[in-house]
Amino acid sequence: MNETYVDILVIGAGPAGLAAAQAARESGIENLLVLERENEPGGILRQCIHNGFGLHRFREELTGPEYAQRDIDAVRAMGIPVECGCTVLSVSPERVVTCVSRTKGFRVFRAGAVILAMGCRERPRGALCTPGTRCAGIYSAGTAQRFVNLEGYMPGRRVVILGSGDIGLIMARRMTLQGAKVLACVEIMPYSSGLNRNIVQCLEDYGIPLLLSHTVTDIRGRDRLEGITVSKVDENRNPVPGTEIDYECDTLLLSCGLIPENELSAGAGVRMSPATSGPMVSESFETSVDGIFACGNVLHVHDLVDHVSAESLKAGHAAAEYIRGNRPGGETIPVCDGEGVRGTVPQSIRKGAAGPVDLMFRPSGVFRNASAVVENDGREILRKKAMIFTPGEMSVVTLKEENIRSLTSGKLTVRIERS
Amino acid sequence: MKREITCINCPVGCRMTVELSDDGTFLSVTGNTCPRGAKYAQQECTVPTRTLTAVIQVPGSPVPLSVKTASPVPKERIFEVMQAISTAEVSLPVRAGQVILKDVLGTGSDIIATRSLDT
Ligand SMILES: Cc1cc2nc3c(=O)[nH]c(=O)nc-3n(C[C@H](O)[C@H](O)[C@H](O)COP(=O)(O)OP(=O)(O)OC[C@H]3O[C@@H](n4cnc5c(N)ncnc54)[C@H](O)[C@@H]3O)c2cc1C
Ligand code: SF4
């Protein structure tokens, strides 16, 4: 089989892949290719027709398709080839990439560097262990979003939403505006992982109750969903008998979190983080395999696409530097999660890296008036106070160049300290 | 008259209490941590507005057209505006930013396309 060589191959043309490609071209890489499975670039933003994107990056409020269009236009203007309808099948540790498309069949590429930008997908029902029968009418919120916004039909009329993540909240409003009755949004935790803005504008505006510390305990229906039972849960998330509420509904939407889509990464032998479900990366977004980089939701789940773009621009630049043989040297310092912190990215920093470096993480609970503290070998090097840390929002502390220079051997730890 | 509202401007999500006169005029607000909360409370209790987004089926296109209100519309007219959008007739091709309905229902806001659709 003939191999075609490219300097940088980007997998996925969502906001992450499109931003990484722009950065790589800006850094002077000519021989560059983006492969995308769907028939259009833009990724998941194509189905996110609501507004609220781009406030950080463009200082205006855009809808998902409008945000995506800006990157699509920029990539076109730079003449970067984006091949749609092409699914990547495998990536080897030597960066040999196989793919298949309807028009060009099976092909093999050899890449100087690979950027993984495959995004994430929703946690399926199986992963959630919901009880009751397996009838029709149960969808993930994102699937319902795709039906309504990209295929133009409604999955049901009387709806309950399980999980109060942002996609579920957005779909509560979307279904209501399309004439469905949304009976309740049910959340097992005592807090919602969604943005306040979405709780107010998607639920409260339409009088949809948010039941915190509740879960679905029964699902009824033979062919089609007919009803569900919701119960209150105690501190250990066990249902409390006697608190059951029955709802008659034909649709249950599950909005219970996203998982990075990493079959390809695993196949490439990339070391994975159990905390993020994404690859472990250095400060330049390089994985444990030489020349394979990762950015966007495939690396860790973001709430804001603006942050996806910012991160992916850095990954694109870093991949270009790698192609030129410029790679930060120096000792590798591991970055670890401390108390109250989960899934810090990057998982390591090289001492020779240029600053600043953002350490991104999810708080493991809600902390008010607390500080994020970065320690190197038990020595505090940085502290950032905030009025609130919540699991629904990615937190960031930024290491400056002088912080990195001053690192000693041993690990870096990020933790949250209550005051 | 008192009204409880949640500030949406940042993750702190302050619970605020707004004091309104009998005719609904905004008098004062408590519970906000910063001035952005006060501004939001006043706006929300006098003229609440929302940006609306929706999709329209376009004959000959497998993908519906996504649209939005170019500026926010009064909250109480959301369902009327949705109704107006659903009856709009659109033909291919469409350019992003193109006006689909001018000054929808006299709200002063246009309905515009948020993506392009080619023939
Ligand atoms: C259903 C859903 C709704 C969301 N709603 C919001 C929201 O309202 N606001 C917000 O800020 N964020 C939202 N997000 C998060 C959103 O995913 C990110 O903000 C952003 O789109 C992530 O960009 P990305 O490029 O990393 O991933 P994506 O946008 O998912 O793009 C990944 C791309 O890679 C392609 N791909 C995957 N595997 C392959 C392969 N093997 N070969 C070729 N191509 C491949 C996919 O087709 C896709 O186009 C949502 C996520 C989901 C899943
Ligand atoms: S009042 Fe200020 S601190 Fe409180 S939620 Fe609003 S913006 Fe945040």
- Chain B residues with CB under 8 Å of A387 CB are 12, 33
Cβ contact, residue pair B55, A204, below 8 Å: no
- Chain A residues with CB under 8 Å of B54 CB are 49, 177
A48 lines ligand 1 (CB under 6 A): yes
- Bridge partners, residue A384, by sequence: A372
Angle between helices A305-323 and A64-77 (to 10 degrees): 20
Angle between helices A64-77 and A15-26 (to 10 degrees): 30
* Residue B82: closest C-alpha in chain A: A177
Q: What type of residue sits at position A296? A: G
Angle at B84 between CA B79 and CA B86, to 5 degrees: 95
CB A36, CB A58: distance < 8 Å = no
Atom of ligand 2 nearest to the CA of B9: 7
**What pLDDT is stored for residue A303 in this prediction?**
86
One domain for residues A312 and A338: no
* SS3 state of residue A309: helix
For residue A79 the two structure tokens come to 């003449």
One domain for residues A14 and A112: yes
Cβ contact, residue pair B8, A200, below 8 Å: yes
One domain for residues A303 and A251: no
Q: Of A312, A327, A342, which residue sits at a domain end? A: A327
CB A100, CB A87: distance < 8 Å = yes
**How are beta strands A138-140 and A245-248 bridged, if at all?**
unpaired
Query: Complex ipTM, two decimals?
Result: 0.90
- What is d(CA A22, CA A317) in angstroms, rounded to the nearest whole number? 9
Q: Is the pLDDT of residue A319 over 60?
A: yes
For residue A209 the two structure tokens come to 């109750």
**How are beta strands A105-116 and A292-294 bridged, if at all?**
parallel
* SS3 state of residue A269: coil
- Chain A residues with CB under 8 Å of B33 CB are 387
Cβ contact, residue pair A392, B115, below 8 Å: no
- Per-residue pLDDT band at A128 (split at 50, 70, 90): low
Domain that holds residue A283: 1-122+258-327
Nearest Cα to B114, choosing from A47, A153, A148, A142? A47
A120 lines ligand 1 (CB under 6 A): yes
A275 lines ligand 1 (CB under 6 A): no
Q: What type of residue sits at position B6? A: T
- Write out the CATH class of domain B53-113: alpha beta
Q: What are the residue ranges of CATH 2.20.25 in chain B?
A: 2-47
Q: What type of residue sits at position A401? A: E
Measure CA of the first residue to CA of the last residue in chain B; give whole Å: 56
Nearest Cα to A321, choosing from A363, A297, A352? A352
One domain for residues A236 and A133: yes
The number of domains in chain A is 3
One domain for residues A361 and A385: yes
Output A286 or A394, whichever has higher pLDDT. A286
Give me the phi and psi of A177, to 5 degrees please.
-65, -25
One domain for residues A298 and A239: no
A388–B contact, CB cutoff 8 A: yes
Give me ligand 1 centre to Cα A42, in Å. Answer: 8
Cβ contact, residue pair B64, A65, below 8 Å: no
Among B5, B7, B8, B85, pick the best mutation site for testing chain A contact (most A Cβ within 10 A): B8
- What is d(CA A131, CA A122) in angstroms, rounded to the nearest whole number? 19
- The radius of gyration of chain B's CA atoms, rounded to the nearest angstrom, is 19
One domain for residues A377 and A407: yes
- What is d(CA A328, CA A114) in angstroms, rounded to the nearest whole number? 18
One domain for residues A349 and A339: yes
For residue A390 the two structure tokens come to 């919540």
Q: How far is A40 from chain B (nearest CA, A)?
A: 11
The arrangement of strands across the sheet holding A251-254 comes to A138-140, A251-254, A158-162, A181-186, A210-211
Q: Is the pLDDT of residue A126 over 60?
A: no
Q: Is the pLDDT of residue A125 over 80?
A: no
Instruction: Give the distance, in angstroms, between the CA of residue A335 and the centroid of all CA atoms in the same chain.
Output: 20
Ligand nearest to the CA of B11: 2
One domain for residues A199 and A283: no
Q: Of A217, A241, A256, which residue sits at a domain end? A: A256
- What is d(CA B26, CA B17) in angstroms, rounded to the nearest whole number? 11
Nearest Cα to A414, choosing from A341, A356, A351? A341
One domain for residues A267 and A307: yes
- Per-residue pLDDT band at B9 (split at 50, 70, 90): confident
Q: Write down the mean pLDDT value for chain A.
A: 93
Nearest Cα to A414, choosing from A151, A389, A406? A389
**What pLDDT is stored for residue A129 in this prediction?**
55
> How confident is the model over A185-194, as a mean pLDDT?
90
Domain containing residue A66: CATH number: 3.50.50.60
**What pLDDT is stored for residue A256 in this prediction?**
79
For residue A217 the two structure tokens come to 């305990």
- A-B C-beta contacts closer than 8 Å: 71
Cβ contact, residue pair A65, B96, below 8 Å: yes
Cβ contact, residue pair A205, B64, below 8 Å: no
Nearest Cα to A203, choosing from A231, A183, A179, A230? A183
One domain for residues A131 and A245: yes
Distances (CA, A) of B97 to A212, A294, A306, A394, B101: 40, 33, 21, 32, 12
- What is d(CA A181, CA A158) in angstroms, rounded to the nearest whole number? 5
Query: Per CATH, the architecture of B2-47 is what?
Result: Single Sheet (2.20)
In tens, the pLDDT along A138-184 reads: 999 999 999 999 998 899 999 999 999 899 999 999 999 999 999 99
In tens, the pLDDT along A322-339 reads: 999 988 888 899 999 999
One domain for residues A299 and A392: no
- What are B's interface residues with A at a Cβ cutoff of 8 A? 5-13, 33, 50-55, 57, 63-64, 66, 68, 75, 78-79, 82, 96, 114-116
* Residue A368: closest C-alpha in chain B: B12
Domain containing residue A374: CATH number: 2.60.40
Q: Best of B10, B39, B40 to mutate for ligand 2, by most ligand atoms within 8 A of CB?
A: B10
- What is d(CA A350, CA A114) in angstroms, rounded to the nearest whole number? 20
Cβ contact, residue pair A387, B33, below 8 Å: yes
* 3-class SS string, chain B: CEEEEECCCCCCCCEEEEEECCCCCEEEEECCCCHHHHHHHHHHHHCCEECCEEEECCCCCCCCEEEEECCCEEHHHHHHHHHHHHCCCCCCCECCCCEEECCHHHCCCCEEECCCECC
Q: B34-68: buried (b, 16+ CB within 10 Å) or exposed (e) per residue?
A: eeebbebbeebbeeebbbbbbbbebeebebbbbbb
B8 lines ligand 2 (CB under 6 A): no
* SS3 state of residue A265: helix
In tens, the pLDDT along B15-41 reads: 899 999 988 889 999 999 899 999 999
Angle between helices B78-86 and A166-177 (to 10 degrees): 70
Nearest Cα to A321, choosing from A359, A284, A283? A284
- Per-residue pLDDT band at A308 (split at 50, 70, 90): very high
- Chain A residues with CB under 8 Å of B8 CB are 195-197, 200-201
For residue A301 the two structure tokens come to 């789940």
Cβ contact, residue pair B75, A205, below 8 Å: yes
For residue A192 the two structure tokens come to 């919602």
**How are beta strands A86-91 and A227-232 bridged, if at all?**
unpaired
- What is d(CA A267, CA A34) in angstroms, rounded to the nearest whole number? 19
**What pLDDT is stored for residue B1 in this prediction?**
85
Q: What are the residue ranges of CATH 3.10.530.10 in chain B?
A: 53-113
**What pLDDT is stored for residue A270 in this prediction?**
97
**What pLDDT is stored for residue B52 in this prediction?**
95
Q: Of A235, A256, A277, which residue sits at a domain end? A: A256
Q: Is the pLDDT of residue A347 over 60?
A: yes
